[in-house]
């Protein structure tokens, strides 16, 4: 007898979800009309995405298919740091799924992992690489990362659970996302804005040069920790006003990806606070160039051997100068806390 996990859907869940969707569909346009800044978050698209994913999540047959799909991708990538529980197809129905049982440490049990000799920085590194490879090369990634959906096994591999929500980027969108990531690691500002437009963040007829000028992306980076609370608030207001004027909004296809990045941000804080973020990004960029450079160059129509990694855009996004060589997550968090403190103090006056 094999040990398994049986997942059963609660009665009437489908009916309750559909009622909630009706309320959310009514509320989303209302938010955009009453709260201007809400347009950037794109509430209507968020509700649309939620409706699409929740309907899929209610059919466990689709979840089983997603498990097999992502397991196949990981195998193709020879990515051995992740484990997907194997579903038993003959025991899967719309409301019941039977799968292989896996055990390990909760994702926030840092003490337990370290006590077992697990390298928590390696866990984070493997997660970032696998997450990026799936999205960039196949346009497929787990769409609902959180502490309850993954744990670390005693051999250091990460078990990934709950595949009811899976992010998928179509061919055109995937290539635009690929150009966005490449541009970010080669300091190509125009390439980043162009890719964001192609992803739907800006209208197709947008004057991209004007966007770069108005957002001051063509100017030297200003370290936000050198600004007063009043200056910080004014700068945020200026950027938001400019983005709203251009009709900027969060693309539906990137919402799940951004949500996962927020989770990874917190995971780094817990598991690897002293990880050198700039060094890791450089390493991952080099890894992609070595493993997949030829394929990526062919898909993007560029000579991959001529691509040079330049993290100045990444550093600008972190608000540090181009000559900064190292920044740990702990350093980044201190900067965030200082900025937030100054803004709160100014607003609270």
In a domain, 175, yes or no: no
**How many domains does the chain fold into?**
2
| 3-state secondary structure at position 164 | coil
Instruction: Give the contacts of 126 (CB within 8 A, at least 6 positions apart).
Output: 79, 81, 82, 158
Q: b vs e for 206-220, b when ≥16 Cβ sit within 10 Å of the residue's Cβ?
A: bebeebbebbeeeee
Of 106, 133, 168, the one marking the end of a domain is: 168
On whether both 288 and 145 belong to a single domain, the answer is no
Residues 151 and 231 in one domain: no
Both 62 and 189 in one domain: the answer is: no
Give the residue numbers spanning the domain of 156: 4-168
154 and 92 both lie in a single domain: yes
Is it the case that residue 92 has pLDDT exceeding 80? yes
pLDDT score recorded for residue 68: 95
- Is residue 211 included in any domain, yes or no? yes
Q: Say yes or no to pLDDT of 161 above 90.
A: yes
- The answer as to whether 180 is a domain residue is no
Q: Are residues 106 and 164 in the same domain?
A: yes
The predicted model gives 87-112 an average pLDDT of 95
Q: Are 13 and 67 in a shared domain?
A: yes
For residue 60, name the pLDDT band (cuts at 50, 70, 90). Answer: very high
Average pLDDT, the chain: 91
Among 168, 196, 223, identify where a domain stops.
168
Establish if 173 belongs to a structural domain.
no
Alpha-carbon distance 117 to 152, whole Å? 12
Q: Are residues 43 and 91 in the same domain?
A: yes
In a domain, 233, yes or no: yes
Regarding whether 210 and 134 lie in a shared domain, the answer is no
pTM of the model: 0.88
**96 and 195 assigned to the same domain:** no
Judged against a pLDDT cut of 80, whether residue 274 lies above it is answered with yes
Integer Cα distance of 102 and 83 in angstroms: 9
**Whole-angstrom distance, CA of residue 133 vs CA of residue 288:** 8
């Amino acid at each position: 007898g094999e040990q398994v996990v049986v997942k059963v859907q609660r009665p009437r869940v489908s009916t309750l979800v559909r009622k909630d969707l009706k309320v959310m569909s009514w509320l989303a346009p209302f938010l955009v009309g009453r709260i201007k800044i809400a347009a950037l978050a794109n509430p209507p698209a968020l509700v649309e995405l939620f409706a699409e994913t929740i309907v899929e999540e209610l059919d466990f047959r689709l979840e089983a298919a997603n498990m097999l799909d992502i397991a196949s991708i990981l195998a193709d990538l020879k990515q051995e740091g992740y484990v997907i529980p194997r579903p038993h197809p003959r025991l899967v129905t719309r409301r019941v799924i039977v799968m292989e049982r896996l055990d390990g440490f909760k994702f926030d049990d840092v003490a337990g992992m370290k006590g077992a000799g697990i390298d928590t920085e390696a866990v984070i590194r493997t997660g970032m690489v696998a997450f990026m490879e799936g999205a960039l090369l196949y346009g497929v990634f787990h769409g609902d990362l959180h502490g309850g959906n993954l744990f670390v096994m005693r051999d250091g591999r990460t078990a990934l659970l709950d595949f009811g929500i899976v992010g998928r980027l179509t061919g055109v969108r995937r290539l635009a996302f690929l150009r966005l990531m490449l541009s970010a690691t080669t300091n190509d500002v125009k390439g980043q804005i162009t890719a964001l437009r192609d992803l739907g963040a800006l209208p197709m007829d947008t004057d991209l040069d004007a966007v770069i000028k108005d957002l001051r992306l063509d100017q030297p980076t200003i370290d936000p920790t050198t600004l007063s609370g009043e200056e910080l608030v004014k700068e945020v207001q200026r950027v938001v006003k400019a983005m709203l004027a251009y009709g900027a909004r969060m693309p539906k296809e990137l919402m799940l990806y951004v949500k996962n990045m927020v989770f990874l941000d917190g995971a780094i804080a817990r598991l690897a606070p002293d990880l050198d973020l700039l060094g890791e990004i450089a390493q991952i960029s080099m890894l992609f160039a070595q493993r997949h450079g030829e394929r990526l160059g062919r898909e993007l129509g560029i000579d991959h051997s001529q691509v040079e990694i330049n993290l100045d855009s990444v550093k600008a996004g972190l608000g540090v100068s181009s000559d900064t060589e190292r920044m740990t997550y702990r350093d980044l968090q201190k900067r965030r806390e200082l900025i937030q403190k100054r803004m709160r103090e100014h607003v609270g006056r």
